[in-house]
Structure 1
Amino acid sequence: MLGRNFILIFLIAFTLIKTGLFAQQSSREFKNGIAAIVNNTVITAESVLRELPMEVSRVYFSLPLSEREKYKQLALRGLIQKELMLNEYREKNYNLPDSIFEQRIKETIQREGYTRSSLIKNLRAKGQTYDEYAKDYREQVIYSIMRSEFISTKGIVISPRKIEEYYIANKNQYRQDREIKLRMIVLENAKHGGEESTRVLADEIYAKLADAESFTQMAQIHSDQNNANGGLRIQWDKKGGSLHPSLEKVAFALGQGQVSSVVQLPNACFIMRCEEIRQTKLKSLSEVKDEIEDNLIEQARKERADKWFKKLEAKAHIQTFSF
């Protein structure tokens, strides 16, 4: 027994050590690697890793290889596009005064509760100098300006006809969910002597309902909830709403007028009757016009961005590497 436990502990420890070494080795490879060269600018593998979303970077080295590659390429594409924008800024001589960047940095430092000296100390702890921080900040401001100038939604107008055509072609996106009106007989365990006795009572009531007893009358007599109105729920129920998942599954399988069998949950037993079904309704064009317009504007913005980046890529020298 001791021998088995020792082997198990050894295997777990070996796996953890191996995983840790793998992560360390992978980090070193990122630190020393080159991901791409855009004109004369090198994009390091380490900068790609820093570009990953925080929730991804935390678990990056434990992800499957295909997932890592997907996130890595998305981050690299973003950095390449950023460098293309910065290069365009330099080529077009869009020179903003240094005072603008200095003022922006000063405002950011104050907003985040730093002094210049405390910021420098914090940057040093992260392995970054103030000059590197200022350069990154400057590039981020330029990047934002270039995006707003060339790939924003400015000037995009969607005609009423285009909105209508999109609505007709995508009607299924704008259908309301099917809704049902339910009556319920609810028997709470706490009021009927516990789980077993409550289930016995529920089965007896269900048998009477099967013999054509009125559901409304039985609910008025027996239900612990909504008994005054015959167990009728005030609201219409839809999938993903307030119903417990086990109740929802049974309720939405009922036809109009049908009664469910007993559904037993940890705290109560339920019997349901579907009173009415409100069929899926198509929202009118006027109800979804603004939503469609927003979608089409975003599509047009993406098309504008793709076209612009292809133009920038065509006149740039871009070389990517495996890393």
Structure 2
Amino acid sequence: MGGNPQLISLSFSFLLILSGFRLAAQSVDGIAAIVNDKVITFSEVRRQVEPTERILKESYSGPQLVERIKEARLSALRALIERELIIQNFKKEGYIIPDHVIEERLREIIRTQFEGDRLTMIRTLQANGMTIDQYKEDLKNQIIIQAMRAKNVPSQVVISPYQVERYYQEHIQQFTEDPQVKLWLIFIKKSVPPEDPLDSPSGPAPPDPALQRAQEILFRLKTGEDFAELARQYSEGPKQDAGGDMGWVTRDTLRKEVADVVFSLHPGQLSEVIPTDDGYYIAMVEDVKPAKVQPLSEVRKDIEKTLVQEERQKLQEKWLNKLRAKAFIKMF
């Protein structure tokens, strides 16, 4: 059956005009990516990454912050592309999510997060620039993604004893506990030199009074006085109120000059005075724990859990790669 060519032409022109309006509206926002026939806008990416950016701004600044934000936005865009691929695959397979499922999920959220007050939830959404219908759509998409992952990525993954043993051998350092010492410390700050060079005596620099005080404390310790009591009286370092009791420490928790001495001592042994840039340390090692490798029997369950997560991640990536291969994806 034929149609009126002029009418068809006018209808086609009208569709082009409508399309032009849509593209113009999108261009104001900016197109971040296209996934088949779906446009992902920059505002969607910004909304996705906004909480991460707030955290980054608390920890970084300058060029480093710019680089971290670029990485976060790219990661967010990739996540949105993956989400769109999954949703489109769900629709292509002809699945549907009944409305009552979304309503049940919404009621549960209102009950657990808003003390059953629907109005409070709506006001919270409005404060974040979102309508209830948009929120329901987001809920629906979350349910779709959960359902499709459950369908395509098996939750039960079998890990063989051989895989566990190989992982253990290849990551043995991960299961090695560093040596530790039960440590007591006294710290004496260096004396402040005179600000005016004219006040400084000529000739060789006199001994630092702080060093002399540290040496006197060491002598008193060697003659049997109580370490904790002297630490409470004289220490200017950490754990003064606890008598200098640092508890069990590893090498990486101490500055190198102190660690080198401390980890060469035997249980019950005192160090000599340890000079550093800012003062003088006296250490006593109460006890020592040598490096220890956790046996496989103790860590087997943790390794199995790690391997299951890795295997499920591989299976998910394999599934997503199939979806990517069948899709038109363009990032801008």
* TM-score using structure 2 length: 0.67
Correspondence for 1:250: 258
Give how far 1:130 is off: 2.5
Instruction: Kindly indicate whether the alpha-carbon contact (under 8 Å) linking 1:251 and 1:274 is maintained by their aligned counterparts in 2.
Output: no
Look up the SS of the partner of 1:43 in the other structure.
strand
Correspondence for 1:138: 140
Correspondence for 1:14: none
Change (3 A) 1:299 1:58: closer
RMSD over aligned CA atoms reads 4.0
Identity of aligned residues (%): 29
Instruction: Kindly indicate whether the alpha-carbon contact (under 8 Å) linking 2:86 and 2:148 is maintained by their aligned counterparts in 1.
Output: yes
Instruction: Kindly indicate whether the alpha-carbon contact (under 8 Å) linking 2:159 and 2:308 is maintained by their aligned counterparts in 1.
Output: yes
Query: Following superposition of structure 1 onto structure 2, how do residues 64-143 of structure 1 map, counting pairs within 5 Å?
Result: 64=63, 65-111=66-112, 112-113=114-115, 115-117=117-119, 119-143=121-145
Give how far 1:299 is off: 1.1
Instruction: Kindly indicate whether the alpha-carbon contact (under 8 Å) linking 1:187 and 1:198 is maintained by their aligned counterparts in 2.
Output: no
Instruction: Kindly indicate whether the alpha-carbon contact (under 8 Å) linking 1:183 and 1:272 is maintained by their aligned counterparts in 2.
Output: yes
Query: Following superposition of structure 1 onto structure 2, how do residues 298-313 of structure 1 map, counting pairs within 5 Å?
Result: 298-313=309-324
Give how far 1:86 is off: 0.8
Segments of structure 1 that go 5 or more residues without pairing to the other structure are 1-28, 190-195
Change (3 A) 1:260 1:122: same
Partner Cα distance (2:111, 2:284) in 1: 63
Question: Are 2:36 and 1:39 aligned?
Answer: yes
Correspondence for 1:285: 296
Look up the SS of the partner of 1:96 in the other structure.
coil
Instruction: Kindly indicate whether the alpha-carbon contact (under 8 Å) linking 1:179 and 1:237 is maintained by their aligned counterparts in 2.
Output: yes
Correspondence for 1:17: none
Instruction: Kindly indicate whether the alpha-carbon contact (under 8 Å) linking 2:257 and 2:276 is maintained by their aligned counterparts in 1.
Output: no
Change (3 A) 1:285 1:30: farther
Correspondence for 1:25: none
Look up the SS of the partner of 1:272 in the other structure.
strand
Look up the SS of the partner of 1:224 in the other structure.
helix
Partner Cα distance (1:172, 1:313) in 2: 38
Segments of structure 2 that go 5 or more residues without pairing to the other structure are 1-25, 190-207, 233-242
* TM-score using structure 1 length: 0.69
Larger radius of gyration: 2
Q: Which amino acid aligns with 1:37?
A: I
Give how far 1:180 is off: 2.4
Worse overlay, 30-39 or 283-292: 30-39
Correspondence for 2:166: 165
Give how far 1:34 is off: 0.8
Correspondence for 1:224: 230
Look up the SS of the partner of 2:39 in the other structure.
strand
